[in-house]
Amino acid sequence: MADSTLKTQAGQAAMRAVFQDVYGSADRLRLAQTGKPVIAAGEVLVQVRAAGVDRGTCHLMRGQPYLMRIMGFGFRGPKNHVPGLDVAGTVAAVGAGVTRFQVGDEVLGIAQGLSIGATTSSTTPGRTSPTAASTTT
């Protein structure tokens, strides 16, 4: 697998992400480059190797039930343009004050969106790969 961190022409760090601009099925998703998130104190940046899609993510992608649009998830399109929550990968950077994780740790957890980095909840058990860990139930 190629490294997901790329360099833009201006020399700025960039990464690939799956985006959704409008509600709908998976055919509305697009792969695009974006700037690497800047992490704050207490956050970690995870280079995602595998991501999960659950029933909740499917509802958010479709914008259904419609009441969720009124509740603040985005009326005409999703406010969070990067769908999904469950991730497995490797810690790429740690913010100030992070003591539980180090760069290079394999982790799995719940991401809180592209714009604020990804926070993780636990390390992968034993020698389980991030891909295998993301597919367990």
For the domain with range 38-134, which CATH number is right: 3.90.1150.10, 3.90.180.10, 3.40.710.10, 3.90.1640.10?
A: 3.90.180.10
Whether the model pTM is above 0.75: no
Q: Which of 16, 132, 20 minimizes the C-alpha distance to 84?
A: 20
Pairwise pLDDT comparison (135 vs 107), residue with the higher score: 107
Pairwise pLDDT comparison (52 vs 10), residue with the higher score: 52
Q: How many residues does the chain have?
A: 137
pLDDT score, position 130: 53
Amino acid at 35: G
